[in-house]
Amino acid sequence: MSEYVLELKGITKIFPGVKALNQVRFQLRPGEVHALMGENGAGKSTFIKVITGVHRPEEGEIFLEGRKVEFKGPRDAQAAGIAAVYQHPTSYPDLTVTENIFMNHEIKKRGMIQWKEMNREAQKYLDQLDADFKSTAEMGTLSVAQQQMVEIAKAVSTHAKIVILDEPTAALTANESEKLYRIVDKLKDEGVSIIFISHRFEDMYRLATRVTVFRDSQYIGTYEVDKITNADLIRQMVGREISDLYPKPEVKFGKELFRIERFTRTGYFKDVSISVKAGEIVGLTGLVGAGRTEVMEAVCGITGFDEGRVFLEGKEMRIKNPTDAGAAGIILLPEDRQKTGLIMSWGLGRNVTLPILDKFIHKGLIDEKEERSLAKQLLEDVDTKAVTVFDPASSLSGGNQQKVVVAKALAQDNMKVVIMDEPTKGVDVGAKAEIYQIMGELAQKGYAIIMISSEMPEIIGMCDRVYVMCSGRVTGELPRAELAQEKILEYAMEKSAGKEATA
């Protein structure tokens, strides 16, 4: 028996024009949780696809328990006991949990599917994971966290020896993540080896014993989690020094710039009042589903609301649609870059100038030269990694897409209030630092900033004041001096069993 359950040596994978992996190596010990970290585009996903047999490497060898293997396709990897759980579960929403778990390996007798037995088996796996739903539930009715649990149950049902979790906590709330941690612990106790990809340092500290870092398609190193400092790890990932991840500048606040009063939409949120001063960064946190995004989308005229008033510089505003919000200088940077933030098939330049086309119109025609040069300026201001303004948005990494979203907001020079919804979701640590930097600079320039976020470290690191929401209501307000994870969580979960906005 070899020391490692899985070992990869000298793996090189070439895509047309790019070396996605260059002589990469990796070693997985039996029963360990091994974190795989690196910036977006470092080659982690490609590497995972090599392990799961989706991609065949041009060079390199794969050893399973010391034996050399060659995967011709995903089926081979599955048969060898390797299962992967992706960030966005790739399931069949209209089928039941049981059907999803036993997809492609149904229990059959004489060609007939044994439903009763399958439901029972599936329920057994779910119980092992402490799932709070039935195996007969329809997949589409479950939350992302629950769907992920099904995927893990599926991995368990195939008796996988190696389970790969690709950014599993990205879409989860704090207590859902905690549940996932416990499941991972359980799998580990049962002798399963786990590869864990995440941008969150909390995940790594909580779970992993060792961490391997990739950068620019290359293997950088493998470290014991206990023995490497945060700063060292970031330096390995980014390739340069990031002195301070949360560069919170000291800003003297101005007058109150923005205030919403008693915002209510039946079934979504109730009596939400928030105010922001010029130069202040205000956090809006809570569990996913607490109604944070919904409130801000209502404020910006994207969805309707039943009651509520918006004041900008003391004056009451009537905002019926996003066009009104933009004209008033209330700019929302939406959470979902691909669906609501950018047009992925368009070039970066046109994305940036979409809200401000009026600026370039002379005699009814768009002056494209002027449009391009302003777009270039704005994209360079936020340091977007791109070659031309014509590069399609889909060609950029998550972090750079987010910078384009920021540039698009900055393009609107009547901007007064900036609402950033999960601005660093799926963004790697290097780009994260840059986005915080921009946020700080905006505060210094006297904008009012609202950041919706589920990530405790950035809420605590960047905010002057934090509102916590739970079940559609504001349950707490904390000044910077009192920001602490326990306190925020306490408010976030306070009334989850009590009054709801629907009541």
Partner 1 sequence: MAGKSGRTISATPENVWKKQIFSWEGILVVIFLAVIVLCKLLSPNYTFVNVLREMPKYLTEIFLLFPMAYILMLGEIDISVGSIVCLSATAGCLISNAGVPFGAAAVLTLLVGAACGAVNGLILVKFPELPSMIITLGTQIVFRGIAEIVLGSGGSVSPTNMDGYRMIAGKIGPFPYIFFLVIISAVIFAVVSAKMKYGRSLYAIGSNRRTAFYSGIRVNKVIFIAYTLMGLFAGIAGLFLTSATYAANTTTGKGFEMDAIAMAVFGGIATTGGKGRMVGGVISAFIIICLRIGLGQINMNSQLILVIIGILLICAVLLPNITGSLRLKKRD
Site of interaction with partner 1 (CB under 8 A): 16, 302, 321-323, 325-327, 332, 334, 339-346, 348-350, 354-355, 357-358, 361, 364-366, 368, 372-373, 375-376, 379-390, 408, 433-435, 437-438, 441
Q: How many CA atoms lie within 13 A of 480 on its CB side?
A: 12
H or E segment and range at residue 276: strand 269-277
Considering the complex, state which of residue 107 and residue 238 has its C-beta at the smaller distance from partner 1.
238
Q: Which amino acid is at 254?
A: G
H or E segment and range at residue 182: helix 174-189
User: Smallest gap, in angstroms, from Cβ of residue 4 to partner 1?
Assistant: 32
- CB neighbour class for 165 (10 Å; exposed up to 12, middle 13-18, buried from 19): buried
Considering the complex, state which of residue 167 and residue 297 has its C-beta at the smaller distance from partner 1.
297
**Across-strand partners of 69?**
62
> Which two three-digit tokens encode residue 398?
């998550």
User: Smallest gap, in angstroms, from Cβ of residue 245 to partner 1?
Assistant: 12
Q: What angle do CA 382, 387, 389 make, to 5 degrees?
A: 70
Residues 6+ apart with CB under 8 A from 232: none
Considering the complex, state which of residue 386 and residue 478 has its C-beta at the smaller distance from partner 1.
386
Residues in the chain, total: 503
User: Smallest gap, in angstroms, from Cβ of residue 380 to partner 1?
Assistant: 6
User: Smallest gap, in angstroms, from Cβ of residue 154 to partner 1?
Assistant: 30
Q: Which amino acid is at 112?
A: M
Distance CA 7, CA 63 (A): 5
User: Smallest gap, in angstroms, from Cβ of residue 424 to partner 1?
Assistant: 14
Considering the complex, state which of residue 292 and residue 473 has its C-beta at the smaller distance from partner 1.
292
> Which two three-digit tokens encode residue 239?
């390739």
User: Smallest gap, in angstroms, from Cβ of residue 236 to partner 1?
Assistant: 19
User: Smallest gap, in angstroms, from Cβ of residue 410 to partner 1?
Assistant: 9
Looking only at the bridges linking them, the beta strands covering 59-64 and 33-37 are unpaired
> Which two three-digit tokens encode residue 300?
């910006």
Considering the complex, state which of residue 292 and residue 372 has its C-beta at the smaller distance from partner 1.
372
Q: How many CA atoms lie within 13 A of 449 on its CB side?
A: 31
User: Smallest gap, in angstroms, from Cβ of residue 327 to partner 1?
Assistant: 8
382 backbone dihedrals φ, ψ, rounded to 5°: -95, 10
Considering the complex, state which of residue 252 and residue 339 has its C-beta at the smaller distance from partner 1.
339
User: Smallest gap, in angstroms, from Cβ of residue 168 to partner 1?
Assistant: 27
DSSP 317-383: E---SHHHHHHHTEEEE-S-IIIII--TTSBHHHHHHGGGGGGGEETTEE-HHHHHHHHHHHHHHTT
User: Smallest gap, in angstroms, from Cβ of residue 463 to partner 1?
Assistant: 18
Nearest to 213 by CA among 226, 227, 198, 202: 198
Considering the complex, state which of residue 114 and residue 340 has its C-beta at the smaller distance from partner 1.
340
Distance CA 9, CA 345 (A): 37
Q: Based on C-alpha coordinates, what's the Rg of the chain?
A: 24
Distance CA 428, CA 400 (A): 10
User: Smallest gap, in angstroms, from Cβ of residue 480 to partner 1?
Assistant: 22
Distance CA 286, CA 40 (A): 27
> Which two three-digit tokens encode residue 463?
């905010």
User: Smallest gap, in angstroms, from Cβ of residue 345 to partner 1?
Assistant: 6
Considering the complex, state which of residue 379 and residue 470 has its C-beta at the smaller distance from partner 1.
379
- CB neighbour class for 192 (10 Å; exposed up to 12, middle 13-18, buried from 19): buried
Task: Let me know: does 135 contact 119? Beta carbons within 8 Å.
Answer: yes
